Chains A and B, each alone.
Chain A
Amino acid sequence: MKPFEVENMSITFGKVTVLPAVSFQIEAGECFGLVGESGSGKSTVLRCASMLLNLWDGEARIGGKSVKDMPAMERCRTLQMVFQDPYGSLHPRHSIRTTLSEPLRIHGLDNQQQRMEQAMTDVGLPLSFLDRFPHQLSGGQRQRVAIARALILEPDVLFLDEPTSALDVSVQAEILNLLVRLRDEKGFTYIMVSHDLAVIDHMCDRFAVMKSGHIVEVLPRTAILDGSAKAPYAQELIAASLAYEGAA
């Protein structure tokens, strides 16, 4: 379990400043949500912190150590990411076995077969699925594979980039429960990007409301229902979400 903090993270694409200066702290073992409308920079925070984008200013520290200073191999074993679209995040020509064994081979880990079997068991997939290809799996099963791939390097921090938004509601619940269970078992620190407050309510301890690259307010989970949000935009977002939930 390691704490995670972001300090003055800023990035510009050409003339557009996507993140002016984002800062937040997450305690070890916490699940922290990032909510906001499309284009508010939620996913960009994750992409920067995971060094998928590397031309940004500021700091992101995991357990007090900057991700920029970490050697690539160590960084990979400290943080992993689960992507939004399970149809695009698995290589279509790789079997599940290849998908899971690649990280093990890159990092030269032993007991590959056992580790793969453990990861498959952790995400609740039968071992026979190892020899399947992504197109032979359903969306929920693919997302489980993507989670297994993230688990297999035993990271401390897991970035979840809208892990359920491409899935059906009933499958969403399965994946969320799986993520909750994994956090209880393995003590991950989660950062979860979502625009669904119901998902945040289910998963997260605290969440930050983002608008055009700024963090408007950091709120505890209870703020969704008790209306304790102070910033007008956060109030508006929560009210809109509740109204939508009520209507649906």
Chain B
Amino acid sequence: MSMSHQTARSSTSATTARPRSQSVQTAINILTFLLKSPTSAFGIVVLALLILTAIFAPLIAGHDPYMQNLENTLSPPSAAHFFGTDELGRDIFARIVHGSRITLTIIFLVTITVGPIGLFVGTVAGYFGGKTDVVLMRVTDIFLSFPSLILSLAFVAALGPSLNNAIIAISLTAWPPIARLARAETMTFRGADYISAARLQGASPARIIWKSIVPMCLPSVLIRLTLNMATVILTAAGLGFLGLGAQPPMPEWGAMIATGRRYMIDSWWLVTFPGLAILCVSLAFNLLGDGLRDALDPKQMTKR
């Protein structure tokens, strides 16, 4: 009797501590798994550098990214200016460092818009099926049928070029693949016994979708979002390059390449360094996405 009482008490005390330690443990497990493979470790390191750079940008940059110095334009990389200066004499290193903030903002905002929208549309369409599915999926098809850069271009052209409009435009074109993915995942287990059991317990469709279906879709959606981030960076850079994203004098990487293009032959550093930054970050997101695909594999999950 005292024994069972003790077990009961220890199990209640475990309840309060459990959810946090469980998720922290899972996060640590995933992180160690990712760090074991060199490619995803590279991804994590680059992204950690990117985030640190963005946080400590003013400390790292050394120069004001907006400060012009017309006596020192287009100077090649040197000890004073690591990556040289641009056509207005601004320090390119400082601009790239500050540009990381813009890139991170774009990625963050696009991801938190696209993830929930795609997940919502996909799970609702997949769970209800029938007419709901047809309507939602045809809408998705319409968005999918536009080439994403063209749709973003049209949107930005209509609303006027600015960073915020670029973010909205990219989100508009990035959610349909997520919705497709979530729908396909949902359809594979909407007939599962645990969903039937939830219905027999009187769970509402919203509750079933949120509590039973979303947790099952989340890993693949997260992977897809991570892989998407590379595309988002490239699209943002593309819009910036076309002059439809971030406006001068903002140090956006794509826009930097666009203005540097005119001086490319004589001053290679104007386009090379922003280009390398875009390459590294989008590569890092791709590698991390691939790593996550392995780490979040259900068969791996059962080992934890």
Q: Could you tell me which A residues sit within 8 Å of B by CB distance?
A: 50, 52, 72-73, 75-76, 79-81, 83-85, 88-94, 97, 102-103, 106-107, 113, 117, 126-128, 130-131, 135, 146, 149, 153
Contact = CB atoms under 8 A, between A and B. Distances in A.
A50 B4 CA distance: 37
B203 A89 contact: no
Contacts of A90: 194
Given A89-B193, A106-B201, 20 more contacts: A50-B200, A52-B199, A72-B202, A75-B202, A76-B201, A79-B200, A88-B193, A90-B194, A91-B194, A91-B215, A92-B194, A93-B215, A93-B216, A94-B215, A97-B15, A102-B203, A113-B12, A126-B7, A127-B7, A131-B18
B211 A102 contact: yes
A62 B207 CA distance: 27
B11 interface: yes
B191 to A, nearest CB: 10
Interface residues of B, number: 26
Contacts of A85: 193
A97 B15 CA distance: 9
A28 B277 CA distance: 74
B151 interface: no
A92 B192 CA distance: 11
A130 B207 CA distance: 22
A202 B154 CA distance: 72
Nearest to A72: B202
B248 to A, nearest CB: 48
B8 interface: yes
A83 B196 contact: yes
A106 B194 CA distance: 16
Contacts of A117: 8
A131 B11 contact: yes
21 contacts: A73-B202, A80-B200, A88-B192, A90-B194, A91-B194, A92-B216, A93-B216, A94-B212, A94-B215, A97-B15, A102-B211, A106-B201, A106-B202, A106-B203, A126-B7, A127-B11, A128-B11, A131-B11, A146-B197, A149-B197, A149-B201
Nearest to A79: B200
Contact of B198 (A73, A93, A102, A128): A102
Contacts of B192: 88
Contacts of B211: 102
B188 interface: no
A88 B197 CA distance: 10
A135 B11 contact: no
B37 interface: no
Nearest to B219: A93
A144 B199 CA distance: 19
Contacts of B197: 81, 83, 89, 146, 149
A52 B196 contact: yes
B15 A107 contact: no
Interface of B: 4, 7-8, 11-12, 14-15, 18, 192-194, 196-203, 207, 211-212, 215-216, 298, 302
B202 A107 contact: yes
Nearest to B202: A76
A40 B173 CA distance: 49
A83 B7 contact: no
Contacts of B196: 52, 81, 83, 89
Given A88-B193, A89-B193, A52 B302 contact: no
A52 B208 CA distance: 14
The 4 closest A-B pairs by CB, nearest first: A89-B193, A76-B202, A103-B201, A83-B193
A94 B194 CA distance: 10
A28 B201 CA distance: 22
A130 B11 contact: yes
Contacts of A135: 302
Most buried by B among A72, A84, A102, A149: A102
Contacts of A107: 201-202
Nearest to B211: A102
B14 to A, nearest CB: 6
Most buried by A among B200, B216, B302: B200
A73 to B, nearest CB: 5
Nearest to B298: A92
A88 B19 CA distance: 24
A88 B194 contact: yes
Given A73-B202, A89-B193, A107-B202, A131 B14 contact: yes
Nearest to A113: B12
A97 B14 CA distance: 12
Nearest to A161: B193
Contacts of B7: 126-128
Contacts of B200: 50, 52, 76, 79-81
A93 B298 CA distance: 10
Contacts of A81: 196-197, 200
